[in-house]
Homo-oligomer: A and B are copies of this chain.
């Protein structure tokens, strides 16, 4: 997507490095950072310079390629995989991308492994772009259908966290339908959940939508329920960090609360996701490990002062304990449907197997 008129992906290779947009500095500064080693890549994932399930997978694949370039031995690949896998415990794409690279490299002679690894990592990126675009097309069809009864007014979409192009390589998952429908001329307005504690909605989703010219309004995470009660939300679309075989959706903490409110008010609630986020080995979402992140993400906030400086302030009293869990699980019963690169399906095991029949033997 474009930033100040220039088309970008969130990750590309340049000058022998893996270049990414430093998302920890958005929306205040748009800068890129070069990853030149396994350590650089692992740190970028852990500190959320890059974030979003698909982009975490793409970055991990490139991190493994950087390690292979340094040392193509089996032992090196194993150690690098373990280091990358430990960066974020919840995102399923991370393990998926690493497994894919390892299996692609298994039969390749050590001397040829670095090239093969970068090729496979690039393929992951290109496929992600194609998949997100396909998710966008399937989702845009839903938005057009929902807009039909009220041609006179914009369709109100609510989203939580950032599942836009910044979370992927391009297009996004939850926001891809919004971008495609907007580009086709459908009148849309997006309610952007601030998404505490890291404010990915206020800082990343609002930045993305503004850069692309999509009308939107930033709201506190607390407000979505009231807006749904008032009929001011037509549809909720979120991403997914891990989706179980029974269609439970693990996504940014707070998603479950929005799903409850959507269900209570008859508002359709969709999760948009590429197949790589589906964990066919787990049915019950309660079994997904939930990442605990540093307290400082909740106790401190960084922003710009009226004087234009960046400053970090503490907003929780110094002595008060804090718990910062990053995800929650929305049970499939609250999800209207899943939007994948292969189409839309009910949030059930049968629905998923209808789109992915090759997984029937997985159980």
* Bound-complex Cα distance A354 to B207 (A): 53
**A225 part of interface (Cβ distance < 8 Å):** yes
Given A216-B321, A298-B194, A320-B216: A225 in contact with B313 (beta carbons within 8 A): no
**A303 part of interface (Cβ distance < 8 Å):** yes
Query: Contact: A315 with B226, CB < 8 Å?
Result: no
* Bound-complex Cα distance A170 to B312 (A): 34
Q: Which residues of B contact A196 (CB under 8 A)?
A: 194, 196, 220-222
**A329 part of interface (Cβ distance < 8 Å):** yes
Given A260-B264, A317-B27, A321-B217: A222 in contact with B305 (beta carbons within 8 A): no
Query: Contact: A226 with B322, CB < 8 Å?
Result: no
Query: Contact: B315 with A199, CB < 8 Å?
Result: yes
Contact of A324 among B220, B260, B320 (CB under 8 A): B220
**A185 part of interface (Cβ distance < 8 Å):** no
> Within the complex, what minimum Cβ distance (angstroms) separates A194 from chain B?
7
Q: Which residues of B contact A221 (CB under 8 A)?
A: 196, 220-222, 254
Query: Contact: B314 with A218, CB < 8 Å?
Result: no
* Bound-complex Cα distance A315 to B218 (A): 11
* A positions within 8 Å CB-CB of B: 27, 192, 194-197, 199, 202-203, 206-207, 209-210, 216-226, 229, 252-254, 256-258, 260-261, 264, 286, 290, 298-306, 310-317, 319-325, 327-329
